Chain A
């Protein structure tokens, strides 16, 4: 801080000298270029920019506006050197004449935080600098300045008016386009700004915008070969108005300090106000900082990742995306981050201050988010357990059909063949017949078991066919009112199937019904399963372990299940299963 101060004092002295030189030259020169105007406004504007720039630099060392303003001041002083009749001094001033406009362009886009927000802005500023620092000096190499009654150009390669005119016109057209883009960007920023932000922006946009508008008008006048006096008037006006710009920037910066303090004190008051809590921290911060797109990220130290309020993992914005991320810490510990617009009129410092003020609330919300993230994890692990259970049952069913059943059937076949070789009525025949009957019984039981584990038809032919099978096997008439008619995700199909199977088993066991209907349809991203009977009612999921199991199973899929069963009015089991 101390060394910065000394450096800035040194810079101030250099600035005084830089302004004094053109002033001295103007006094010493009788017939210099635009003598009176430059003699007064060149050094004046230069000093004003250097002075206010150094002041802003001192007050806000981390803000880029101060250095930019100082640089603009020096550029202005250099450009004022063109007042001289000495060829080398004159041409130095002429070369620098465009740099100040590029710097002003940069300043307007970077105000008030001193940084460019988006790639578009960076690109526009880069083009402006190239036009000022490359295209214009190249043009000077071909400019025979004596033609316009100016001092001689010692850099002259060849005095070709065509080259100068072509380069100049190209640069002016480009300048017009750049100023137009600037106008649009500033207008958009103005429209997006909150009232306090507008108070900060207003002086800068008015004076800076006016200068840029005068510059554009001057480009247009030159391009249109307008009257010489009009061109001259526009140029003079621009030089005069430019002198007000540094003060506008200073006013804006000071106002932004006030706006910050106001925003923070208002935020602190709101955070303490119970009636504000229902809005949530994000809304309060978005409002205080005037950035409706603001988002909060909560840090989960165990997982080393950021999540949103719902506990879902989120990625922080990349640099240059126009969004900026400011970390929030509490007691030296990272607790979260504020993701905000890069244009946020109140700069990073403010966001940091706001973050510090909101740290306690943020920590509370972080704990909530952590809880939600853990719940999400729990939910998906529950779903995974159900799915792996399903997969295991499918494997077991397949193994039974492909292994045990095949062997038992071929054993039965062997028994039959053996039986055919034995005389009827013998002891062996009786033994073989009894063994065969046992074996048939075993096969029946095996098939029942396999079907209970997992219905093959479900994997092979889908829910429609499997429901048809269920309806056909049921011990009472079952009407399939509606089925999906398409294949659904495997876990959805099996959950829906088990709901219908279990519900129909219950109907057959307890309902004393004459008729049941089954309806499965896909509505708004979920599958709705309904099994309805005309029985005695009075079923309670809490009592029957079958229904209880169904409730858990459906919940594991993030769905829900309801049983409506008033005594004497039948039972309706309804499940909603999410199905993306």
Chain B
């Protein structure tokens, strides 16, 4: 799987590159700022770009803007954004109305190597990866007229893990239940959220969006 890594901190960027290469990824280019990143992604057409949010030139959310630009200009490229701190607004802005091929992780997650590598791979394959801390904030927030009110606690848990981008099998492992049980929850969630009939993959995306926008 071909990857472009963008981070203005050389130290960290080299670390991420080494880690990804050891995990078997092909790091085709590295970038130190937002413009450099867009140029290299357009040139190399990688499967996934790993992008630090805070980068030159303005050192605010240039990385996020570049990620959105990549999603517009080079569709099919997954973008995994790394953020110094949790900001649901960033995550939701990145996901937009199609979570496929997007990821948003806290920066220090890269030290949790297996999880990070798994997230990069998932985003590169067109899946999604949202930081559990973002998800827990979204679960924690309370608003009137919450469409998720009808869900049971277990179903919320399953939906939150779906939003992180996990497969049914991974969810089953995490919750220590059978995959069959997870499927039942998923079907029930689709019903309660009143999702229109569609292929399973698409309904999953819709459910996650419903969850993120709640």
> A: which residues have CB within 8 A of B?
398, 401-402, 405-410, 412-417, 420, 436, 439-440, 443, 447, 450-451, 456-457, 459-461, 465, 468-469, 471-473, 477-479, 515
Contacts and interface: CB of A to CB of B under 8 A. Distances in A.
B9 A410 contact: yes
A468 B85 contact: no
Nearest to A450: B85
A479 B111 CA distance: 35
A486 to B, nearest CB: 16
B85 A472 contact: no
B142 A402 contact: no
B144 to A, nearest CB: 7
A472 B134 CA distance: 10
B contact face: mostly helix, strand, loop, or mixed: helix
A461 B85 contact: no
B140 interface: yes
A472 B84 contact: no
A187 to B, nearest CB: 63
Contacts of A456: 54, 84-85, 87
Interface of B: 9, 11-12, 14-16, 18-19, 22, 54, 59-61, 84-90, 107-108, 110-113, 137-138, 140-144
10 contacts: A401-B54, A402-B9, A409-B15, A409-B108, A409-B110, A410-B11, A413-B15, A417-B18, A456-B54, A478-B141
Contacts of A461: 61, 87, 89-90
Contact of B85 (A409, A451, A471): A451
A460 B61 contact: yes
A416 B23 CA distance: 12
A507 to B, nearest CB: 14
A531 to B, nearest CB: 15
Given A417-B22, A436-B111, A447 B85 contact: yes
A436 B141 CA distance: 31
Given A447-B84, A469-B86, 11 more contacts: A409-B108, A410-B12, A417-B18, A417-B22, A420-B113, A439-B111, A457-B89, A461-B89, A465-B87, A472-B137, A515-B142
Contacts of B60: 459-460
Nearest to B107: A409
B120 to A, nearest CB: 14
Contacts of B84: 401, 405, 447, 450, 456
A459 B61 CA distance: 10
A360 B14 CA distance: 78
Nearest to B138: A472
Contacts of B18: 417
A336 B37 CA distance: 65
A468 B88 contact: yes
Contacts of B89: 457, 461, 465, 468-469
Instruction: Kindly list the 5 A-B residue pairs having the minimum CB-CB distance in the complex, ordered from nearest.
Output: A477-B142, A412-B111, A413-B15, A406-B9, A465-B89
Contacts of A447: 84-85, 108
A398 B22 CA distance: 31
Contacts of A479: 142-144
Nearest to A515: B142
A413 B110 contact: yes
A409 B111 contact: yes
A515 B14 CA distance: 47
A407 B61 CA distance: 20
Given A451-B85, A468-B89, A469-B87, A416 B19 contact: yes
A405 B142 CA distance: 31
Nearest to A400: B84
A415 B9 CA distance: 18
A446 to B, nearest CB: 9
Contacts of B90: 461
A208 B76 CA distance: 93
A500 to B, nearest CB: 15
Nearest to A401: B84
Query: In this complex, which of B11, B87, B90, B144 has the most chain A Cβ atoms within 10 angstroms of its Cβ?
Result: B87
